[in-house]
Amino acid sequence: MTRRPDASTTAASRHTTGAGMGEQFRVIAELAGDIAFSIDLPARTLRYLSPAFTAVFGHAPEALQDAIDGAGALEALGPLGMVLAGSMGAPGERTSQEVDIRNADGHPVGLQVISTLVHGDDGGESLVGLLRDLTPQRTHLADQRRFASMLNHEFRTPLATIDGAVQRLEATAHNADEPTRQRYRKIAVATDRLIAMLDEYLSPDRMAAIGKVRQPNTTAPNELLEGGAVQVREAGREAKIASNAQALALRGEPEGLRLALKVLVDNALLYSPPGTRVTLGARRSGNGVEFTVRDEGEGVPPEDVACIFDKGYRGRNADGLPGSGLGLYMARSIVDVHGGMLRLAEGAGGAEFRLWLPALEDGGQQRLASSSLSSDNRSDQ
């Protein structure tokens, strides 16, 4: 194979050659732990590659140049070479792809390839970007799945025991008075509710889906509102809807957004008197949409306001009501993943939660960023 002049240079000489593309770009990228690269076009000559590429993966820059050329090292770096050779978006357009390679020891490594096409001062074009090692993120997600599986099992086993015991008590307590029977039913309902929460909030599939890099997706604000309204009406309550965000599209994963809004509606139904109305709203706010869910209850006690999103927290007004203190924690976690904000409004009649999410005017799409989980409960769920 005829090797391009730059392809045989060492990582150190690439470092020097790449200084012209911007020292700040290189320093910022490498301080963050990412591997920077620059590829001259249309020749697809690897002009710069961070020395960390060789230090972390054990492959020389020449091996990556061969992979971009479609020759040599194909099994180890071939998938990355094909991605880099084919990343030709519009100038200034940011692209992001995931690819699996093998390091010099043959172990699989996941990479996120973030790139964009730029014009140089000399009139030429370059593909510049970052290679991000996904190993820590994937390890975290695997730990999260194991934790969710353990938590699901540890909760489900005693709940199944309680459920079976209550069923036996109801079946055999022929002489029990009505208050005792009501207590049995209350225990059974609470147990069923907790088991349902395990399936909806804490199943391994649910926990694995929340907080990871997602495929681009969008949903309409009014679709979420109508889903919340259906939930209110199915509970035998009146739902009032107000929206002026029809033309917007939310940047996010629909199932997760529906779950976050469902938690807020569940709270409104649980902490307001039967027969009262639940008001759902959506309005433009900055470059996004602000949803509101307001009930006609007594509101959140002032002493509980600071803690309602903490995991496992239950407020003073939760006495005698079913719940585990996970609902608002999970809702805010989902919203955080989507780059939004969830808060309790001050001074509103009843309790009013406001959920802000980024949106696009033209129904465009966005890849969600990974985010750490946050905190819960106004005494809910």
β-sheet bridge partners, residue 342: 355
Which of 133, 159, 190 delimits the end of a domain?
133
Across 5-9, 32-36, 109-113, least confident range: 5-9
Domain count along the chain? 3
The 10s digit of each residue's pLDDT in 52-96 is: 899 889 999 998 898 888 875 557 888 888 888 876 666 777 888
Do 184 and 43 share a structural domain? no
CATH assignment at residue 39: 3.30.450.20
Do 202 and 227 share a structural domain? no
Do 346 and 319 share a structural domain? yes
The 10s digit of each residue's pLDDT in 200-250 is: 666 656 655 555 444 446 788 889 999 999 999 999 999 999 888 777 888
Which of 133, 161, 188 delimits the end of a domain?
133
Do 93 and 160 share a structural domain? no
Residue 67 near residue 99 (C-beta atoms within 8 A): no
Do 365 and 254 share a structural domain? yes
β-sheet bridge partners, residue 114: 96, 130
Supply the range of the domain harboring residue 126. Answer: 5-133
Do 379 and 354 share a structural domain? yes
14 — pLDDT class (breaks 50, 70, 90): very low
pTM over 0.75: no
Do 289 and 145 share a structural domain? no
Percent of residues, the chain, with pLDDT higher than 90: 12
Choose between 8 and 295: higher pLDDT: 295
Do 146 and 165 share a structural domain? yes
Do 83 and 55 share a structural domain? yes
The 10s digit of each residue's pLDDT in 98-120 is: 889 888 888 888 999 988 888 87
Residues 6+ apart with CB under 8 A from 189: 322
Say yes or no to pLDDT of 292 above 60: yes
Count of CB atoms situated within 10 Å of the CB of 86: 10
Which of 67, 102, 133 delimits the end of a domain?
133
Do 110 and 189 share a structural domain? no
Angstrom CA distances, 93 to 106, 115, 116, stand at 33, 8, 6
CATH assignment at residue 238: 3.30.565.10
